[in-house]
Amino acid sequence: MDLFLTNSSFALHKTLIERLELCGLLEVCFADWATISWNTGQNQVIIEELAILTPQYIELLCNLIDIPNNPPYITGYWTKDGQEIENSEETVNRNNEQYIIKRTFSIQARDLGNYSCMFRENEAQVTFVLVVPVIKDKRDKPVVSYTGDSVVLECKLKHTPNTWNWYKANNTEKGLINVTANPLNYKIFINGNETKLTVLNLTEEDSGKYICSAEFDIKPSESYVELKVLSYTEPLKPFIAIVVEVIVLVTLILLWEKCNKPDGANVFSSTRDESNGVQNNTARQRKLEH
């Protein structure tokens, strides 16, 4: 089976993505294409992710090769989010043992989704996932900090949005964080494709979900970070427990030794029993000295 993404096709893929970002509203952008190879008995499903920043026209292309029996034509169609798009079916003629199907889509905010080219005759398909840039490195564990301390929450993207906004989520509501209204509590730093929110003078109420929103022309891209604010008594509990344990241990050890200590002879004879000739030596040494 041919590997789908050879180096050359990858290079092409990258170039196309770059071209995509330069596209404006009314241009047709040759956004992405995929080559699927179909061998007898093998299904191949390929998934390609495309980041869309602005509303535009996008052309998607699927190229099917290595079909057994090389029929003169095959039938292909497009689906969006699993639903077949009406009137998208077309007959593809063989062209040098390749079958190419392509279609231009107009993409607005509501048109984002999964677009697939599929064929009636076999199971090969390519899915193009059209989304706003996704904020990938999201912490799934909450950020922990302490009252009176400060904390930095950050969001990063590969593409640069028009601007960033931060929200604090209260149940289902989102409240915009306004730095000018609360200069003592918040600081927002924006630098192209990354942003940092600094929350100062933490209190327990500052716990909760914080949402960073990257504003693109087409749609904002959001990600959230959870903040937990603890009081200092939290880590103090295991700490005190360990310190108590250490004190108990040390007291026990020293007491035990004190109880065994008056028996100086005991210590001597016990060591004599346990070890090899060493103690015998000292015993004999005593005899010699006497």
Partner 1 sequence: MMEKTQEEQQSSPQMAAPDGGWGWVVVGSLFMSSALVFGLIRSLGVFFVEFVQYFGESAQAVSWIASIGLAMQQLMSPIGAAASNVYGTRPVVMMGGFLSGLGFILASQATSLVHLYLTMGLISGLGWALVFTPTVASVMQYFTVRRSLAMGLGFTGVGLASFAFSPLFQYLVEVYAWRGALLVLGGLSFNMIACGALIRPLGKPKVVLKTENLTKLNKCSSLLSRIFESFELSLLSHRGFLTYAVAITFFNAGYFIPYIHLVAHSRHIGFTEYQAAFVISVTGVVDIMGRVASGWFSDLGKIRMPHMLVVWTGLLGLSLMIIPVAVVYSGLIVISVVYGFCAGAMTPLAFAVVPEIVGIGRVLGALGLLQLIESVGGLLGAPLSGWLKDCTGTYTLSFIAAGSFLVLGMLVTMTLPYFWSCTAPPPPSPSKRMSQDGSIEDGLLKQTLSSNSVPESLCPLDDTPYSDKELKVCWKSDVTCPVQERDEIPQEMMHHTNSGEIL
Q: Enumerate binding residues for partner 1 (CB under 8 A).
A: 141, 143-146, 149, 152, 230, 234-236, 238-243, 245-246, 249-250, 253-254, 257, 268, 270-271, 274-282, 284-286, 288-289
Which is nearer to partner 1, 43 or 285 (by Cβ)? Answer: 285
Which is nearer to partner 1, 18 or 140 (by Cβ)? Answer: 140
Nearest approach, Cβ of residue 186 and partner 1 (Å): 17
Nearest approach, Cβ of residue 11 and partner 1 (Å): 20
- For 106, phi then psi, to 5°, come to -95, 120
Nearest approach, Cβ of residue 196 and partner 1 (Å): 9
Amino acid at 214: A
Distance of CA 204 to the CA centre of its chain: 28
Q: How far apart are CA 158 and CA 91, in angstroms?
A: 38
Which is nearer to partner 1, 24 or 235 (by Cβ)? Answer: 235
Nearest approach, Cβ of residue 268 and partner 1 (Å): 5
Strands of the chain (E only): list them: 28-37, 45-51, 56-65, 73-80, 83-84, 90-93, 98-107, 113-119, 125-131, 143-146, 151-156, 163-170, 173-176, 186-191, 194-199, 208-215, 220-230
Which is nearer to partner 1, 67 or 227 (by Cβ)? Answer: 227
Which is nearer to partner 1, 19 or 272 (by Cβ)? Answer: 272
Which is nearer to partner 1, 173 or 274 (by Cβ)? Answer: 274
* Residue 287 exposed, middle or buried by CB count within 10 Å (0-12, 13-18, 19+): exposed
> How many helical (H) and strand (E) elements, i.e. helices and strands, does the chain have?
4, 17
Nearest approach, Cβ of residue 221 and partner 1 (Å): 22
Nearest approach, Cβ of residue 223 and partner 1 (Å): 17
Greatest C-alpha distance within the chain: 116
Q: How far apart are CA 223 and CA 219, in angstroms?
A: 13
